[in-house]
Structure 1
Amino acid sequence: MIKRVVGISLLLWVFSATGSEYLSHELNGQVLQINTDEGLVEITALANDSFEVFYQPSGIEQLPSFAIDGVAKKTELGISEKPASLTLSAPGIRAEIDKSPLRIRYFRGDNLLLAEQQGLFVEEDKRGFSFALQENEKLLGGGERILGMDRRGHRFPLYNKAHYGYTTESNQMYFGLPAVMSSNKYVLIFDNSARGEMDLGATNTDEMRFEAVGGRTSYIVVAGDSYPSLIEHYVTVTGKQPLPPRWALGSFASRFGYRSEQEVRDTVKLYQESGFPLDAIVLDLYWFGADIKGHMGNLSWDEKTFPTPVNMISDLRKEGVKTILITEPFVLSSSKKWQDAVSSNALVKNPEGKPYQFDFYFGNTGLIDVFDNDARDWFNQTYSALFNQGVAGWWGDLGEPEVHPSDAVHSLNGMTATGDEVHNAYGHKWAEQVFQHQQHLAPNKRPFIMMRSGFVGSQRYGMIPWTGDVSRSWDGLKPQVELSLQMGLFGLGYTHSDLGGFAGGEVFDPQMYIRWLQYGIFQPVFRPHAQDNIAPEPVFHKGKTKDILRTYVELRYAMLPYNYSLAFENSLTGMPLMRPMFFEDETDLSLIDEKDQYLWGDALLVKPITQANQKEVSVKLPKGAWFNFWSDERYEGGKTITVPTDIKLLPVFARGGAIIPMTIPVLSTDNYSTKSLDLHYYADKSAEHSTATMYNDDGKNPHSIRDGAFETLTFNAERKTDESQGDSLTLTLQRNGSYKGMPSSRMISLWVHNWPQDITKVMVGEKQLPNIADKTEFLNANQGTRWDSDNKTLEIKFSWKDTTSVTVF
């Protein structure tokens, strides 16, 4: 019998619901230690704006923190004492601690952020925390749920669980997060991996409550002045997403599943023959078994259907296509590796200390113990062998885990914990294992790791989540924006959907399919994926469907300079690629509820079409000027507009003053180059000053940010209006930084949209460019200017090397 270290029942008498009493305190570095009559309470300043609060009941061993990224960042602390209270102050957050009973309130400046209602509580077999909610406070968070953006008033499980074929409602899904973001500008993290519940004012309208059956009794409070700064402070504590390889922003081919090597080769060939860009192909479980059931755990090629996999991977790679393989953490007792897993002590144990065997959909199985170092080493042998064959990326599936016995016994560095106590951190630890091992195998390459389940902080392991087995239907498409926005607020900025929908769907719906893939162009990862009764890849469809989507995939590649800059910004600050509308006006709390449209970066607003035969669509435009991305039609912001829809055109709008860098689309990012850049500037009198930054590196170096091996291209626009002389424009281009292989100079095509007048002259530095009225002659020229009076667009061509300015008179 395995001895349990973490005991739940002991808590029944350790902490009372009424709170503990202060005895003494001591400040050690960045940790305030408070001794109480019921145990130690530690408040650690994790950074300038963040506190970890760790209640440690006497006699109870605690599980480790899974949310915190490494050691605390150095900060300045001050402490003061009054007869009835203590105050701990960091530069961006302050804790006021009542001594009797012990209660903690948190402030930023004079603003009350959050207050404990009970502190740590214990009720029957639950442990957790209770906090007071303020009037009109809105709460986002909880991870993947379909409840609306404001989750206040809901109670839901903290237990990662598959929801096959979901549509417009879900209280429990693949990737829950025990964290909330408040309209009062704080984030609260319940740093506990155990099965539990999250009650955001559902039971008591003025109470926020977290509870679990075991695990760690700590929470983290993060403060900020704005939502973007709050996210940056959050990822400072939980970890920043490493830059993915640039090819991760390209086009993927994926299905359930490719059944043979020949089918894989034929699919890639069809992409090439159809003129569709392609950067990766994802192989589902048929690569290691001819059937769905009975083979999980083999994780070696089925030689009958994939006779020459190494040659296949190599041949695809020569064509610019990378190979990604699915792996799962289950080893069936019928698999080739079962006995090896048992003898290598790689599987979780039952309470009697033997490998835990149980039945689920795929067969009788065991579960790899990703918390145990020996088990991780055994699992890593598979990844090493496949990497040496040329595999470029990993897809981790079923990592909730999909089936996880509550009494399974895991090993954690000398401790043990049940399945219930560590369930929500399983995918997190699996991602950590794969990420760290990939760093060991290829220290000069960026890992690609796609997984559907994890915990707070999983982004620091390069995790790219997706939203699970969504219904292949309009109702499956409807919640996808909400799901990605919610995850992006908590560091997981690459959350995306199986484009086109995964589950069900017996008849192909071209309209729904087109609308879903159009939306996918403006989400972090472009990966159509579905059951193969209907082909998920656009190249297998015909006529208008195929032609429309080819244009959109080409646009995805043309936008790589802009999209890659969003990825860079995410790695620097945690800013999500998909951004909610409430970022535009933080004083308007109603914007928090907007879940049907979003900002793609700062420059573009996207309104997905999520219902059939929609003739027109309403769009809420933020303040300022906005331009139809396809026609340049101008709209005044700060109101809701109605625009007609066209199956060829997804509603997308560019912000007045935006500067969007684009380039020539290629068939693979292997051929990507920024030697030629198209800069699209949306001129408007409402935006006299605007700026944009483009980041660029080799797309491969995992240390480019750390080592400064990248360049920034900064574009600043200044527009002036003179009633007698007309409008003038000065665009300044600056380049800073360097990396190996960067272009020494660039050809620039500057598109000035909404330019109201013909031009007198255009100067690049001290040189005046020739005005070329003939369109054909202009297209063939290396430099010059042309004003299109019909479209009110000015195009300027010139060569750019160092800092220069373009002036339009």
Structure 2
Amino acid sequence: MTHLPRLLPLAGLGLLLAPAAHAQHYQPTATGLRVSTDSLMVEVQFYSPEIVRVLKQPKSVDAAKKSLVVVQAPAPGKLKYSAKNGQVTISSPTTQVVVNEKTGQVSFRTAKGQPLLSEQALGSRFTPKQDLGAATYRVRQVFQLAPGEAVYGLGQHQDGHLNYRGQKVLMKQKSLDIAVPVLHSGKGYGVLWDNYSTTNFSDAAAGTVFDSEIGECVDYYLLNGQGTADGVVARYRQLTGQAPMFPRWTLGFWQSKERYKSQDETVGVVEKYRALGVPLDGIVQDWQYWGEDNDLWNDMAFNNPKFPNPQGMVDRVHALHAHQMISVWPSFGKKSKPYQELASKDMLFDFITWPRTPHVKVYDAFDPAARAIYWKYLNQGLFKLGMDAWWMDATEPDQLQPFDTDDDNETALGSFRRVRNAYPLVTTGGVYEHQRQAATDKRVFILTRSAFAGQQRYGTMVWSSDVDSRWDVLAKQIPAALNLSLTGFPYWNSDIGGFFPSGQYPKGVKDPAFWELYTRWQQFAALTPMMRSHGEYTPREIYQFGERGTWAFDSRAKFIDLRYRLQPYLYSLMWQVTHQAGTPMRALAMDFANDPKVADMGSEYM
């Protein structure tokens, strides 16, 4: 267990906002500068000429923070210093940072002195509180944006918004909502707010606010994209890690459902597609291959007698020139082998997750030893069979009935409250890193339901969770995907047809109205990074909609064929993602930044 930073008592609230009684001289450092006010220590660190870290903490705090997100080391290059009228300016060839020596206020400019972003005067707040009996703070920073400036990103929030000016967003991982504290400005800069606790973002006339539940410091990075959206994404990936290339077969068509209940059914789907001459690259095995007893939940082994020969199943899928993905979770049933080993080492959390039973618990992915145990069973039970890809479900992790006390669970890095939003980052990272160590010649492909800043470096494809089968939900997938892309994540997809059709379409695949929704959703999916059919309640395979020659079958076949005709182009885009920090799903504002008509256009993309 890591030790929390030592905090010294404060006289009261609000003192951290008070200006110093007299100006303090700045102190140059190897990476930037340090300024001391009466109540704050402010440090500016250049990680590159275009990437600047700002670190603020009360003088009473003795803390050293190691980021879970950032992988780049500071590399300031040549810096210039000047001071005038109580303000010190530090400049790289592309970025100027101005610090008020009296208040600690920081503002950013281009090399030509044009304003990029400014903190609000006295906009840093540290409110003392307790966390697991230790003194800490609630941390808040207020920025002042320019009038008319559009802002994007913040992860995936299915509220229909593209531009988040004038909006409030709760950044807390849960199904349907992905919390990534990266703000992308239409002016061509970004802000990475490096905090892992629940964070409230809000924008109003009074200012633009990041307000996090726990922290010893205000810690953020200014990403100077030099006026372009692609530049912002490039700086984000430079700082937090590049996205590795996926295998080409990941770009083909994927068939899935909740769930194939035997190995004969799973293999039979691939055989049927081959018999029909319809292209298919991936088949997905969902849950309960480990058995139908929830006490064996996620045992990472084929205990279910309906899967008597898992090696033969995988081999047959490969012989049919397809690839297999399998569902794994961060939670385990009490009779599973991973649960028993993790429980013996106190590496399980105590809160209600899926499935809703006290016998299933989530593991502490913040502990590297726990991540090694997770991989051990994944490797022994599944990877050694030749599984090609992972479907890491519920990586938020899922909390079906959250209580305030859930956040009191202790992790290897402190309270769950302190680090909760970074859970998907560390759990997917554990699988990625261990697989790369085990098989350097096999690319990692992880489909996952949640994400955090930096996770693109772990070979992850995000999907939009278990969405309802409705037209308005389909419409909201586009701005949700575009904001995640503007956050810096290149790979996103959704369940074709929506996951839950039973409410709107109780006849399921027998209902022509569902055919229409499914057809339009599939057309959209053909032009997203992953084309994957999945859902519950009703089957989704192409032959379930009719025979060749009917519109329902032929429309699906047409867009599957289109996907394969586009595959060389899509693979070149994937190369651009890895080697040029490219973005496949491009909001129009990325390419037409000077056109005000597209600043909030969430219904189209390139």
Shift of 1:360: 5.2
What's 2:383 paired with?
Answer: 387
Shift of 1:454: 1.8
What's 1:187 paired with?
Answer: 190
What TM-score, normalized by structure 1, do the two folds share? 0.68
Q: Does 1:470 align with 2:467?
A: yes
Task: Give the match's secondary structure for 2:173.
Answer: coil
What's 1:161 paired with?
Answer: 174
What's 1:640 paired with?
Answer: none
Identify if the C-alpha distance between structure 1 residues 13 and 258 changes in structure 2 by more than 3 Å, giving closer, same or farther: farther
CA distance in 2, matches of 1:12, 1:473: 55
Identify if the C-alpha distance between structure 1 residues 14 and 381 changes in structure 2 by more than 3 Å, giving closer, same or farther: farther
Shift of 1:63: 4.8
Task: Give the match's secondary structure for 2:192.
Answer: strand
Larger RCO, structure (CA 8 Å, separation 6 or more): 2
Letter in 1 for 2:229: Y
Task: Give the match's secondary structure for 2:489.
Answer: coil
CA distance in 1, matches of 2:520, 2:295: 37
CA distance in 1, matches of 2:555, 2:10: 61
Relative to its length, the structure with more helix (as a share) is: 2
What's 1:82 paired with?
Answer: 84
Q: Which runs of 4+ in 1 moved over 4 A?
A: 6-15, 357-360
Letter in 1 for 2:529: P
What's 1:701 paired with?
Answer: none
| Consecutive unaligned residues in structure 2, runs of 5 or more | 130-137, 509-513
Q: Does the aligned pair in 2 maintain the 1:447–1:462 contact within 8 Å?
A: yes
What's 2:15 paired with?
Answer: 16
Q: Does the aligned pair in 1 maintain the 2:56–2:218 contact within 8 Å?
A: yes
Identify if the C-alpha distance between structure 1 residues 207 and 554 changes in structure 2 by more than 3 Å, giving closer, same or farther: same
Aligned with residue 518 of structure 1, among 520, 523, 531: 523
TM alignment of 1:262-411, pairs within 5 A:
262-290=264-292, 293-348=294-349, 356=350, 358=352, 361-364=355-358, 365-385=360-380, 386-403=382-399, 405-411=406-412
Letter in 2 for 1:190: W
Q: Percent identity?
A: 25
Aligned with residue 236 of structure 1, among 238, 241, 244: 238
Task: Give the match's secondary structure for 1:579.
Answer: coil
Shift of 1:20: 5.4
Larger C-alpha radius of gyration, 1 or 2? Answer: 1
Higher mean alpha-carbon deviation, 239-248 vs 521-530, is at 239-248
Aligned with residue 594 of structure 2, among 565, 587, 591: 587
Letter in 1 for 2:147: E
Shift of 1:40: 3.2
CA distance in 2, matches of 1:357, 1:487: 28
Higher mean alpha-carbon deviation, 539-548 vs 265-274, is at 539-548
Higher mean alpha-carbon deviation, 177-186 vs 328-337, is at 328-337
What's 1:554 paired with?
Answer: 561
CA distance in 2, matches of 1:63, 1:393: 34
Shift of 1:480: 1.1
Q: Does the aligned pair in 1 maintain the 2:327–2:393 contact within 8 Å?
A: yes
Identify if the C-alpha distance between structure 1 residues 135 and 557 changes in structure 2 by more than 3 Å, giving closer, same or farther: same
Higher mean alpha-carbon deviation, 397-406 vs 55-64, is at 55-64
Q: Does 1:150 align with 2:150?
A: no
Letter in 2 for 1:514: T
CA distance in 2, matches of 1:240, 1:359: 32
Shift of 1:316: 0.8
Letter in 1 for 2:396: E
What TM-score, normalized by structure 2, do the two folds share? 0.89
Q: Does the aligned pair in 1 maintain the 2:271–2:320 contact within 8 Å?
A: no
Shift of 1:296: 2.0
Task: Give the match's secondary structure for 1:570.
Answer: helix
CA distance in 2, matches of 1:358, 1:127: 28
CA distance in 2, matches of 1:558, 1:382: 39
Identify if the C-alpha distance between structure 1 residues 55 and 249 changes in structure 2 by more than 3 Å, giving closer, same or farther: same
CA distance in 1, matches of 2:199, 2:8: 16
Q: Does 1:128 align with 2:124?
A: no
Q: Does the aligned pair in 2 maintain the 1:85–1:96 contact within 8 Å?
A: yes
What's 2:132 paired with?
Answer: none
Letter in 2 for 1:562: Y
- Any idea what the Cα deviations from partners look like across 1:421-451, whole Å, max 9, x if unmatched? 1110000111111111111011122100111
- Any idea what the Cα deviations from partners look like across 1:164-194, whole Å, max 9, x if unmatched? xxxxxxxxx1x12212111222111211000
What's 1:40 paired with?
Answer: 41
- Any idea what the Cα deviations from partners look like across 1:136-181, whole Å, max 9, x if unmatched? 1111122111242111111121211124xxxxxxxxx1x1221211
Q: Does the aligned pair in 2 maintain the 1:102–1:119 contact within 8 Å?
A: no
Task: Give the match's secondary structure for 1:341.
Answer: helix
CA distance in 2, matches of 1:133, 1:544: 51
| Consecutive unaligned residues in structure 1, runs of 5 or more | 164-172, 349-355, 600-809
What's 1:5 paired with?
Answer: 4
Task: Give the match's secondary structure for 2:421.
Answer: helix
Identify if the C-alpha distance between structure 1 residues 63 and 12 changes in structure 2 by more than 3 Å, giving closer, same or farther: farther
Task: Give the match's secondary structure for 2:61.
Answer: coil
Shift of 1:12: 8.4
CA distance in 1, matches of 2:2, 2:587: 48
Relative to its length, the structure with more strand (as a share) is: 1
Q: Does 1:573 align with 2:575?
A: no
Q: Does the aligned pair in 1 maintain the 2:33–2:45 contact within 8 Å?
A: yes
- Any idea what the Cα deviations from partners look like across 1:214-266, whole Å, max 9, x if unmatched? 13520111112212222222222222211111111111111111111111011
What's 2:443 paired with?
Answer: 446
**Number of equivalenced pairs:** 572
Q: Does the aligned pair in 2 maintain the 1:23–1:34 contact within 8 Å?
A: yes
Identify if the C-alpha distance between structure 1 residues 227 and 338 changes in structure 2 by more than 3 Å, giving closer, same or farther: closer
Shift of 1:10: 5.9
Q: Does 1:499 align with 2:496?
A: yes
Letter in 2 for 1:410: T
Letter in 2 for 1:571: T
CA distance in 1, matches of 2:271, 2:166: 52
- Any idea what the Cα deviations from partners look like across 1:75-102, whole Å, max 9, x if unmatched? 3222222351111111221101111111
The Cα RMSD (Å) is 2.2
- Any idea what the Cα deviations from partners look like across 1:296-348, whole Å, max 9, x if unmatched? 23221124011100111011112211111111111233545432221244324
Identify if the C-alpha distance between structure 1 residues 452 and 16 changes in structure 2 by more than 3 Å, giving closer, same or farther: farther
Letter in 1 for 2:182: A
